[in-house]
Amino acid sequence: MIEKPHLPFNSNDLMPFISEETIDFHYGKHHLGYYNKLIGMLKDRPDLANMNLIDLIRHSHGRDDMVGIFNNAAQIYNHSLFWDSLSVSPQKCCSTAAKLIQDSFGDLDHFKKEFSSAAAGLFGSGWVWLVKNSAGKLEIITTQNAKTPITNPTLTPLLVLDVWEHAYYIDHRNNRPQFIEDFVDHMINWDNVCKILGKVCH
């Protein structure tokens, strides 16, 4: 059973960094568009009807006969984590997350530089992720199109930035670097990173 994704804030809550128009299009047309397409596809697949979203993504991953189901299911998950990765007010990197960042990247500035560089260097449409690996270290990875690290059970996605053009084109045209800078400097939801880690942010 796939639940309809929701937006965890109001469309104008991220201004001035992301406009109400961008959020309305991004959530209302793109994110819900993936959901509606998937629900339509599943009407012909009663065998998949009881799967939750993550199971469906993993089940369809890499299968030539399920490309459409994978793409739409993965985009639902990716966008939901993206909304949860955005804070409506600036947050300091809490000590729990800061310790992990320090162990993996040296310090917060190095993390921001590496994350921004990965986001700027991703060719075409895709996603930039902060994940925790099975050794407990954090890694920055990128995926193209709908690809998602949730297909890899050894990785725990903590944070994601959508760098498809639809995420920033209304506000910034082709200026992806500005969108990236706004994200890393003003919008990272560290509380949500701690929540996924199962820890209290302090």
Tokens of 22: 């961008």
Q: Which is nearer to Fe ion, 139 or 165 (CB)?
A: 165
Which one, 129 or 164, has the nearer CB to Fe ion? 164
Buried-exposed string 32-44: b where 16+ CB fall within 10 A, e elsewhere: bebbebbeeebee
**Minimum Å distance from CB 41 to Fe ion?**
19
- Give the residue with the Cβ less far from Fe ion, 84 or 162: 162
Report which of 174, 150, 153, 149 is spatially closest to residue 163, judged by C-alpha positions. Answer: 174
- Classify 198 as helix, strand or coil: coil
Give me the least distance between CB of 82 and Fe ion, in Å please: 7
Task: Please count the residues of this chain forming the interface with Fe ion, following the rule CB under 5 A.
Answer: 2
Exposed / middle / buried, residue 54 (Cβ in 10 Å: 0-12, 13-18, 19+):
middle
**Shortest Cβ 195–Fe ion spacing (Å):** 22
- Contact call for residues 180 and 119 (beta carbons, < 8 A): yes
Nearer to Fe ion by C-beta: 27 or 105?
Answer: 27
Residues 20-79 that bind Fe ion (CB under 5 A): none
Query: Least Å distance between CB 39 and Fe ion?
Result: 18
Q: Please, which of residues 140-169 interact with Fe ion by CB under 5 A? A: 162, 164
Backbone angles phi, psi at 147, to 5 degrees: -55, 145
Minimum distance from residue 163 beta carbon to Fe ion (Å)? 9
Q: Minimum distance between the CB of residue 30 and Fe ion, rounded to whole angstroms?
A: 5
Shorter beta-carbon distance to Fe ion: residue 35 or 164: 164
Tell me how far apart the alpha carbons of residues 173 and 192 are, in angstroms, rounded to a whole number.
29
The pair of structure tokens assigned to 72 is: 């739409």
Residue 84 contacts Fe ion per CB under 5 A:
no
Rounded CA separation 133/117 (Å): 20
Q: Indicate the residue whose CB is closest to Fe ion.
A: 162
Residue ranges in contact with Fe ion by CB under 5 A: 162, 164
